[in-house]
Amino acid sequence: MTKFENSPMPKLTDLKKKRNQIDAGCAIIEGDRLLRQLIANNVPILDIFCWQEQTHPSWLSDFRPKLISKKKFSALAQTKTPQNYIAIAKRSTAKIGDYQTLLYLDKIADPGNLGTIARTALALGVDGIALSPDSCDAFNPKAIRSSLGAVFSLPIETKNYQWLKEQKAQKILADLCGTSIYRLPPLQKKKILIMGSEASGASKEAKSLAELTITIPLTSKMESLNLAIATGICLSHI
């Protein structure tokens, strides 16, 4: 596998801007654990930076981290207390292909939720994630961190409601009212789970396309669940 790829990159100081990252097809990776996970998953790493002379760990043996000033390192960092390394990784351009189970996230706004959902989806064998056009960016730094790099390993595309309508798959909507996840009817082999936004649930457009609406029964002591938690529970049942 090629560890480093030659591609036109903006100046290091310009990479802090989201637009420049998108134009260059890259994303900033921060934190040893996250970087190690990406390397293990064969995500293309374009560059790695550190700010002090050190003995690099064995999992970086195929790389040559570049030493930069602490000032530049801190300027590039997304967190207040950066760790040992910052890397530039290539954004995934994988397209949604043949699938058995997909997620359609409708108007999801919190990148932390999106990242946690992506991590869960990858772990449970979901084939890809489709985002409604007004959802947050899958490569937002918070989404990357909370996904533990899963956003680089899953096909994630922005798809509108017309695309969702045209899919020849069973469309299953999670909502506050519907069939209990503990009493689901036999499901089709090919299916799409639709999860709505944190604040208002699924849109009218998404709801109109659902062929089956499911719900997670809750006690009277709690009226709702975090979106990422609810998505994980629903995925485990379908």
pLDDT in tens, the chain (238 residues): 334 444 455 567 677 788 888 888 889 998 889 999 999 989 999 999 998 888 899 999 999 999 998 888 888 887 777 788 999 999 988 999 999 999 999 999 999 999 999 999 999 999 999 999 999 999 998 999 999 999 999 999 999 999 999 999 999 999 999 999 999 999 999 999 999 998 889 999 999 999 999 999 999 898 889 999 999 999 999 9
CA dist 16 and 22 (Å) reads 11
Q: Name which of 135, 150, 123, 122 is nearest 194 in CA terms.
A: 135
In Å, what is the CA distance from 82 to each residue of 72, 73, 132, 237?
12, 9, 32, 38
For the chain, report the end-to-end CA distance as a whole number of angstroms.
35
